[in-house]
Amino acid sequence: MAAMVIDGKEAAAQVLDTVKTATAELIRTTGITPGIAVIIVGEDPASQAYVRSKGRRAEECGFRSVTHRLGADTAQADLLRLVGELNGDDAIHAILVQLPLPGHIDEGEVIQAIAPHKDVDGFSFVNVGKLATGQTDTAFVPCTPAGSMVLLRRALAKTDYSGLNAVVIGRSNIVGKPMANLLLAANATVTIAHSRTRDLPALARSADILVAAVGRPQMVRRDWIKPGACVIDVGINRVPAPELGEGKSRIVGDVAFDECAEIAGAITPVPGGVGLMTVAMLMANTLASACRAAGVSAPRY
């Protein structure tokens, strides 16, 4: 294996350490404790697990953490009422509505109901617009792309990607589009590829920075990788693993790790890569929100 494996566990631990220290300092100097409210609607097991880990991490960071668990049949009006109450609650600096929501609820309407200054997911029009226009000092940047940028910076040991070609595979609002904007802000030459892109392997081979965020297990193969490229795998896919026993499964990324690691210069593993950064950056955004409310500057990562 030639590639350097980018350690998401270590990077996430460093972000969380910084958050914990800065939180203690914020509480000591201003009396303000960062508060986060997470809302989950329904019983989806993966979402439940994500929400539990967010609550645990928030408590470890010294935050006030509240989880609202609502039934799958919750009316949209009731959900909107709860969001409205949290918008007006001064003890809450961060609101996250876990996605996906049940089909009878208009996800867009709920996301846009969150006050932009508490929208730590960075999904509201205000935060999307700020990121797209380069106002990252006051925007909330979506957590997965923000964490991916931290990993990229560690791997490349620089923050300016002038002259580098970046290809982002996937055009979701949660990852692909904000990731492309962050890379553009870092002076990379950015292409967004998606299911309608012609000759994706050839395009991927032009990338010095390749980001895979499509949700298709091990789609990116060895011949898609430019020698020495930095590969960021955002995929978290559960696949059957009969080799581990009957009915067992395992998690793989969007990148065929072993074969791509022979060609890449640096690569994130799955698990142990980007996934761990998402929750860490949620904590960073929550602290940033409380710092803004207190009028003090937030740490950088």
Give the pair of three-digit tokens for residue 266.
Answer: 């640096």
Cβ closest to ligand GUN, residue 143 vs residue 209:
143
Kindly indicate which of the ranges 76-84, 93-101, 159-167, 251-259 contains the residues binding ligand GUN, using the contact rule CB under 6 A.
Answer: 93-101
Please tell me whether residue 208 binds ligand GUN under the rule CB under 6 A.
Answer: no
Give the pair of three-digit tokens for residue 288.
Answer: 């940033």
54 has catalytic annotation: yes
Cβ closest to ligand GUN, residue 11 vs residue 266:
11
Please tell me whether residue 174 binds ligand GUN under the rule CB under 6 A.
Answer: yes
Q: Name the residue with the smallest CB distance to ligand GUN.
A: 99
Distance CA 141, CA 123 (A): 8
Cβ closest to ligand GUN, residue 96 vs residue 164:
96
Phi, psi of 64 (to 5 degrees): -85, 125
Bridge partners, residue 66, by sequence = 37
Is the C-alpha dihedral spanning 142, 143, 145, 151 positive or negative?
positive
20 has catalytic annotation: no
From the candidates 54, 118, 130, 177, which is the catalytic residue?
Answer: 54
CA within 13 Å, CB half, 85? 9
248 has catalytic annotation: no
Please tell me whether residue 143 binds ligand GUN under the rule CB under 6 A.
Answer: yes
Distance CA 24, CA 21 (A): 5
Please tell me whether residue 92 binds ligand GUN under the rule CB under 6 A.
Answer: no
* Nearest-approach distance from CB 239 to ligand GUN, in angstroms: 18
Please tell me whether residue 98 binds ligand GUN under the rule CB under 6 A.
Answer: yes
- Contact by Cβ (8 Å): 258, 225: no
**Number of other CB atoms surrounding residue 251 within 10 Å:** 15
Q: Which residues bind ligand GUN (CB under 6 A)?
A: 96-99, 121, 143-144, 174
Show which residues are catalytic.
54, 98, 121
